[in-house]
Amino acid sequence: MKMRGQAFVVFKELASATNALRQIQGFPFYNKAMRIQYAKTDSDVISKMRGTFGDKDKKKDKKKKAQEQAASAAKKPAQGSTNVQTTSSQNQQAPDNPPNYILFLNNLPEETNEMMLSMLFNQFPGFKEVRLVPGRHDIAFVEFESEGQAGTARDALQGFRITSSNAMKITYAKK
């Protein structure tokens, strides 16, 4: 695949990437202003570092299996198994608020901004928007189209370190 006029630069930390983006945005390069944005997906290097390299294929396979199981379960509903599944999923959610399409983030570093969080969460289907709380740099809300999509993002990014000292805590927002 030929890519003319594009380059990818990988940073170890999101804060470094954000700093570079701010400082170089619009910088004239061969008489053209550079337009810089975050990549939509993680690079292979970052994926390998996080241990998620090759997970895209695994996620697709899991999604297909889940859809097949849901289709077969819809065809022949079992009375007992439905109750067991509901109870076990409720037990898993006990320490958290009930599922919601809005996530509540806390333990965010002071330099967190809307763009950083948007780039982090827009990799998940159903992402709608990030809302920062004025006067509170350490909390934010992220909205998705559905509770399931919010749950997927929550599970994937729970404990994500925006900086080395700040592990993000994600819960469902109160309804």
- Let me know whether 52 and 103 are in one domain: no
Q: What residue numbers bound the domain in which 122 lies?
A: 95-175
pTM of structure: 0.49
Q: How many domains does the chain have?
A: 2
Averaged in consecutive runs of 10 residues, what is the pLDDT profile of the chain (175 residues)?
76 80 82 80 75 68 68 53 39 64 94 89 92 92 95 92 87 93
In whole angstroms, how far apart are CA 3 and each of 6, 7, 8, 46, 125? 6, 8, 11, 21, 26
* Residue 19 belongs to some domain of the structure: yes
